[in-house]
Structure 1
Amino acid sequence: MGRHSLAKKRRKSPVVLASVLGPAAVFFAVGSDMQPSKDAVKSASVDEVAPWDVEIVAAAPMNSFPAPIVGQVSLSSGPDTVIAASRYRTVDRTLPVGLAPERGLQVKTILASRAITAAFPEIQSIGGTRPDALRWHPNGLALDVMIPNAGTAEGIALGNEIVDYVLRNASRFGMQDAIWRGAYYTPNGAQRGGGYGHYDHVHITTTGGGYPTGNENYYR
């Protein structure tokens, strides 16, 4: 036989080669996707490999519960109550020592002195216990609230405001009476009759409430 005949016998059909090589190519392609090579795994850095089945969730802020505002806020402990901590503030309602020397004063008189001092910064002097023919000042039951420029329109207006303030707080202060510019006041209002004096200060008498023991707290 000639060379041309032998060549024809060794040559494979293109269709046959495709049928043999095609599945093998698919096998290696799929296998390479399913199983990475060791070299590929080694070349991947830690930062490039994402962890499996891990979810990163931002932590919710922890709520703090500061002290409630005294007499203003009622807190609920229910799970649905969410109040920002910034909305809270502590309110100190304790009254500081007033202008009147407190030695010898009874508790209601002390409360009146402290409250008037806090409410009227214009006042610079309040008298308390002192010798007198009547028992009110010696027994710590009376205050003399001195009015700056008492004869002026401003001074008279200030004295009137203080009398009105004491009347509004008559029960709290244990008010018995007040005297200002010739008028005598009780918790029921003015009792005019003349001759009461007190043109330079407001005189205030309380029911006392007893002498302090040192454990008292005075609030606004």
Structure 2
Amino acid sequence: MPGQHRKPARARKIAPLAGSTVAATAVIALSVMARPTPAPQATAVAADTQATPAAGMGAASETPPAPAPPSAEAVAAVDKPREPARYLKRLAPPPPPPVACSTELAGTQPHVAQVGNLIGRTFGIADIGGANGRYDGEHGAGLALDFMTSDPANGNAIADFVLANKERFGVSYVIWQQQYNDGSGWSYMEDRGSPTQNHYDHVHVSFEPAADVFVTC
């Protein structure tokens, strides 16, 4: 019969091929199972490493808020023009008006008292003789003053000040240290015997009777 003469060689070759396929599949499965599983911590670190640049890029890309515009008061204060320094004095309040010197001093005439109060205040003279206790002459009429001082420098300053303002003060003449001066220069007087009579301890000033005087202290 024809079927009895087939050679079983093909069937025998297929069997080993199938067996080798099964063996290869088993080896692959075993190698996959034998691979070590990555540690959870390493995985988390890798995830953090990948997430950090993304977070940093997001922070760098953030835009800071714009500054608020200046208020109207601030703009007005900056834009307001400043007054030049030369005009500041004009804006200051005016000084108080000068005060006239007192018209009362040792019983003298008002214009004489004004000048006497000014001289006493200017040179620090508290002892000033006038009409009180004097009943004759220019002193008795309230037209003369004695500025008591034993300091030659202070007496010289008083005499020079009075003569420099002779017309303004209504002065007729000055006697100091036995010398007389009516504005034309100093001249010696006779010796009267004592320092007081020779005017070494005071400056004597006589005034015109109708002088128009106004001085401030």
Normalised to the residue count of structure 2, the TM-score between the two structures is: 0.52
Aligned-partner SS, 2:199: coil
State the partner residue of 1:219: 216
Q: 1:164 Cα shift?
A: 0.6
Distance 2:158 2:73 in 1: 68
1:94/1:57 Cα in 2 relative to 1: closer, same or farther (>3 Å)?
same
Distance 1:55 1:137 in 2: 71
* 2:106 maps to 1:110: no
Aligned-partner SS, 1:110: helix
Amino acid at match of 1:129: A
Cα deviation 1:29-82 (Å, max 9, x = unaligned): xxxxxxxxxxxxxxxxxxx999xxx9985164898xxxxxxxxxxxxxxxxx83
1:117/1:86 Cα in 2 relative to 1: closer, same or farther (>3 Å)?
farther
Which ranges of structure 1 fall in alignment gaps of 5 or more residues?
1-47, 64-80
Between the aligned residues of both structures, percent identity stands at: 29
1:61/1:161 Cα in 2 relative to 1: closer, same or farther (>3 Å)?
same
Cα deviation 1:108-142 (Å, max 9, x = unaligned): 31222021012102x22101113546420111100
Distance 1:134 1:61 in 2: 70
1:201/1:58 Cα in 2 relative to 1: closer, same or farther (>3 Å)?
same
**Bigger proportion of residues as helix:** 2
Decide which of 157, 164, 175 is 2:160's aligned counterpart: 164
Normalised to the residue count of structure 1, the TM-score between the two structures is: 0.51
1:83/1:49 Cα in 2 relative to 1: closer, same or farther (>3 Å)?
closer
Contact 1:98–1:117 (Cα < 8 Å) also in 2: no
State the partner residue of 1:38: none
State the partner residue of 1:208: 209
Distance 2:199 2:69 in 1: 92
* 1:87-102 equivalence runs, <5 A: 90=95, 92-97=97-102, 100-101=105-106
Runs of 4+ aligned structure 1 residues displaced above 6 Å come to none
Contact 1:174–1:207 (Cα < 8 Å) also in 2: yes
Backbone CA RMSD of aligned residues = 4.0
Aligned residues: 144
* 1:1-220 equivalence runs, <5 A: 57-58=75-76, 60=80, 82-84=87-89, 90=95, 92-97=97-102, 100-101=105-106, 103=107, 105-121=108-124, 123-132=125-134, 134-147=136-149, 150=150, 155-195=151-191, 197-209=198-210, 218-220=215-217
Cα deviation 1:76-105 (Å, max 9, x = unaligned): xxxxx833467665155325448943x3x2
